[in-house]
Amino acid sequence: MRLSDATVVIRPRPTWEAMDLGVLLSQRHRRLLMTSWAMVTLPVFALLSWGFRDSPSLAVFIFWWLKPAFERLPLYILSKAMFGETPTLKQALYQWPRLLKPQLLASLTWRRLSLHRSFLMPVMQLEGLDGRARQQRLHVLLQRDAGAARWLTIIGAHLEGALWIGLMVLFYLLLPQQVVLDWRWQSLISAATQDGRWLEHLTNAFYALVLVVWEPVYVACGFSLYLNRRTVLEAWDIELVFRWMRQRLFSAGAVLLIAVIVLMPTTHSVWAAEPAISPDSPRLLGQPLNSQASRDNIKAILEQPPFKNRETVTRYRLGEDKPGAGAPTPQWRKALLKLFERQHFGALATLIEIVLWGTVVAAIGLLIWRYRDWLQAFVSRRPALNVKTTRPLPQQAFGLDLKPESLPADIAANAESLWQTHPREALGLLYRALLSRLVHDFNIALKAADTEGQVLRRVELLQQPALLAYSTNLTGHWQNMAYGHRLPPDHVQQQLCNGWRVLFGPGAAR
């Protein structure tokens, strides 16, 4: 690495300005970064989607977990491009398998959830450090800019999710209006459950496309933070100034050397005539400032600030046991105090970090177990079992009154009289009466949060084909009227009334 070949100005920057430099670097090489990322990650995503075609959530989770392995390729490209050696696409893809070898297991296990991942990844990949040397290096780097690295990961995760949701919304907005009107969400959910879950795989593909755009920017920001920290620690900007001064003085020094060579014959005879004088000769010792005094003065100066800053620190230190000083220090206390020494404190910090992460995971698991019933209503794809409950029957559903006394005596006749003047009330009466029958006659425990599709799945568990067919037909027309403002044709209206009479008879509501 030659600092003089850097393609950016090397100087200390504030943390947010350093991350802004990373954004500019990713924009400068965006074509190479995005193309290489897509060529590496999209085949892996397609393979995972095909292998876990029945579990789209597991496929996208594994793809998300493998991000540290994919991030090594953009870091390699940026590290080369930073110093004027931008690789070609072919060279970058050729190097990626070699980049995966060092510390891959650690990157995908206990280091996977680190909030400093992009900031500390160059220590492993570019410096090649591991073990104690890596821990010492991290201790120095994290003394500053650690908070900015954490915020970069946190903000990046939220931005990643926002882009993912925005891409799905954009896809929905670009659909033709007629296609959206013809959609029945119940059929879409059924297709996602039974016919390959294409809807979930489609949203997973949107996430893979978001990473093509965002991940190179994230890696570039972490890399620029790392370079900024090294600039401050190693004074790269001062080194570059000295190199510039040396280059300017080199030409003047060459001229001076030529002049000395030209004048050498004249001065040689004068120097030869004088006797050799050593630093310890009596002639020099008689001077006001001799060699010994110079050494003493130099030592005295080096013992003072800024060359040596003495500081008095008071702390408890376990020393050697001296005779007559009382009972010797127990061995267990010595071993305990050694844990807090600088060279062993890293192991204790790692242990504390493991305990804290374990506490977080246990708390999340406890919350999931505590609210498992609530989560099952939104996450589980299995039909809910018809479990008997002692809770009171609901009196309303979808804003409709389900009490039997609120219904007319002859449901079909009242619906036929309402079709011509108030068709919405007629269809609503049939659907309300159906729900009331399901609750009071078939003991289906409906919940206030149930949807039309969940009601149909509970009717399906009754194993009555005629009731299920009529409920499906009536529910479809009810949804078209309630959400799409589309009334059924005239012949369908009469079919719904006749179907009610066949199932429940022309008598009372109960």
Tens digit of pLDDT for each residue in 366-375? 888 887 777 6
Contact (CB, 8 A) for 35 and 271: no
From 444, 438, 489, select the one nearest 467 (Cα to Cα). Answer: 438
Residue 483: pLDDT band by 50, 70, 90 thresholds?
confident
The set of residues, in sequence order, having a beta carbon less than 8 Å from that of 66 and lying 6+ positions away, is 44, 108
Residue 62: pLDDT band by 50, 70, 90 thresholds?
very high
Tokens of 232: 């401050």
| Residue 36, pLDDT score | 93
Burial zone of 447 (CB within 10 Å; 0-12 exposed, 13-18 middle, 19+ buried): middle
Render pLDDT for 200-236 as a digit per residue (tens, 0 to 9).
Answer: 888 899 999 999 999 999 999 999 999 888 888 877 6
3-state helix, strand, coil in the chain (%, to 5): 70, 0, 30
Q: Strand ranges (DSSP E) for 389-465?
A: 396-397, 400-401
What element of type H or E holds 394?
none
Contact (CB, 8 A) for 475 and 488: no
| Residue 11, pLDDT score | 81
The set of residues, in sequence order, having a beta carbon less than 8 Å from that of 123 and lying 6+ positions away, is 129, 134, 137, 138, 141, 226
Q: CA angle 97-25-144, nearest 5°?
A: 90
Spatial separation of the C-alpha atoms in residues 138 and 350, rounded to whole Å: 13
Does the structure show a pLDDT above 60 at 93?
yes
| Residue 212, pLDDT score | 94
Does the structure show a pLDDT above 90 at 385?
no
| Residue 5, pLDDT score | 61
| 396-397 and 400-401 strand pairing | antiparallel
From 74, 83, 7, 68, select the one nearest 39 (Cα to Cα). Answer: 74
CA distances from 422 to 297, 490, 491 (A): 110, 13, 16
Q: Which residue has the higher pLDDT, 2 or 171?
A: 171
Q: Which of 182-186, 267-271, 441-445 has the lowest mean pLDDT?
A: 267-271
Does the structure show a pLDDT above 90 at 41?
yes
Give the residue carrying structure tokens 């030659």: 2
Render pLDDT for 319-331 as a digit per residue (tens, 0 to 9).
Answer: 555 555 555 667 7
Contact (CB, 8 A) for 51 and 206: no
DSSP state of 94: H
Q: Which residue has the higher pLDDT, 306 or 252?
A: 306
Tokens of 468: 């299920």
Mean per-residue pLDDT, 348-352 = 76
Mean per-residue pLDDT, 460-484 = 82
Tokens of 226: 């790392």
| Residue 206, pLDDT score | 93
Contact (CB, 8 A) for 103 and 129: no
401 bridge partner residues:
396
From 182, 188, 2, 12, select the one nearest 84 (Cα to Cα). Answer: 2
Residue 387: pLDDT band by 50, 70, 90 thresholds?
very low
Does the structure show a pLDDT above 50 at 509?
no
- Share the mean pLDDT of the chain: 77
| Residue 259, pLDDT score | 63
What is the Cα gyration radius of the chain? 39
Spatial separation of the C-alpha atoms in residues 471 and 433, rounded to whole Å: 11
The set of residues, in sequence order, having a beta carbon less than 8 Å from that of 479 and lying 6+ positions away, is 184, 186, 452
Contact (CB, 8 A) for 34 and 216: yes
Render pLDDT for 64-74 as a digit per residue (tens, 0 to 9).
Answer: 999 999 999 99
| Residue 508, pLDDT score | 44
- Describe the crossing of helices 490-504 and 411-419 by its angle, rounded to 10 degrees: 170
Spatial separation of the C-alpha atoms in residues 133 and 129, rounded to whole Å: 6
397 bridge partner residues:
400
Spatial separation of the C-alpha atoms in residues 226 and 231, rounded to whole Å: 9
Share of the chain above pLDDT 70, in %: 70
Buried b (16+ CB within 10 A) or exposed e, 77-89: bbbbbbeeebbee
Render pLDDT for 417-453 as a digit per residue (tens, 0 to 9).
Answer: 877 778 888 888 887 888 888 887 787 777 766 788 8
Spatial separation of the C-alpha atoms in residues 208 and 42, rounded to whole Å: 7
Tokens of 120: 């500390």
DSSP state of 397: E
| Residue 482, pLDDT score | 75
Spatial separation of the C-alpha atoms in residues 156 and 303, rounded to whole Å: 49
